[in-house]
Amino acid sequence: MTNTLPIRLGLTLWSHPQWQQTLYGRGTAVSERLEKYAQVFHTVEGNTTFYASPSPTTVANWKAATGPDFRFTFKLPKQITHELMLHGCEDLLNHFMQLMAPLHERVGLWTIQLPAAFSPAHLPALQRFCRYFPADYPLGVEVRHPAFFHKGPEEKQLNQWLVETQTDRIIMDSRPVFSAQPDNDTIIDAQKKKPRIPVHAIATGNRPMVRFIGHPEIAENDAFFAAWLQKLPTWVAQGKQPYLMIHTPDNQLAPELAQHLYQQLQQHLELPKLPSFPGAAADNQINMF
């Protein structure tokens, strides 16, 4: 894996107990999961930092578990983005960034996920906030207020500023999960938590991130992914490096869905082979005897 990868493929998390017999291998310790994950995938969504800041020891462990070509996309803490709505948080941001300093070179995007209450009226706060970062820090912004999806003056103003500052607009594609029948608790919970917003496939910077929220049946995702088989290669041809983040309702089959969609992309782009899951390889060795 190198920084010249046409596309970076990843999941929303690196630790899941149901991945023991597929991604990791049976008996893999929790502390070893990131290392096994990073042997296959090129990036990961750092949701953990949204809920709580890690200890310095944990940051050091994350660095030790990944190679120099791996990329995290850490979310800023929700205290900054959701509770303070980007106001009066410069000290909190400085503390967080200093804590994460050992991993700065392995961050593909610092992601600013904003709540639905963050409206176009708050755009000046976002613009001021982003000036706290050095110009070479890669930033991604995820908005959820409906006005940012109406293709009106509010959205145009946001997109123009994002293009001017080369800040990536994070794209949520939740169509697959909302196409599923809400006939079990997992689907119902996912449909309650995930935003149902239009898909605006616009690349405002050089690292557009697509969050693809999959249908629980892997084959059902193909129809929704068809448009991305055209859009992602177009961005690559323009010199951009897309980040493709795969989710499923409970994420049990997220590695398999990511593998499935990546194989489709290989028919449209010259991509390196995705390594086999360490867990699957271990099981094959066991089955030989």
What residues have CB less than 8 Å from 97, skipping those under 6 apart? 104
Write down the mean pLDDT value for the chain.
Answer: 93
pLDDT in tens, 179-221: 999 989 999 999 888 889 999 999 999 999 999 999 999 999 9
Q: Give me the mean pLDDT over the 103-110 stretch.
A: 97
Q: Please give the pLDDT value at position 26.
A: 86
Does the pLDDT value for residue 32 go beyond 80?
yes
Does the pLDDT value for residue 229 go beyond 70?
yes
Q: Give me the mean pLDDT over the 104-121 stretch.
A: 97
The residue assigned the tokens 């963050």 is: 118
Q: What is the 3-state secondary structure (H, E, C) of 179-244?
A: HCCCCCHHHHHHHHHCCCCCCCCCCCCCCCEEEEECCCCHHHHHHHHCCHHHHHHHHHHCCCCCEE
The Cα–Cα gap between 54 and 60 comes to: 10
Q: How many CA atoms lie within 13 A of 267 on its CB side?
A: 8
In the chain, pLDDT over 70 holds for what percent of residues? 96
| Domains located in the chain, CATH noted | 8-287 (3.20.20.410)
> Model pTM?
0.93
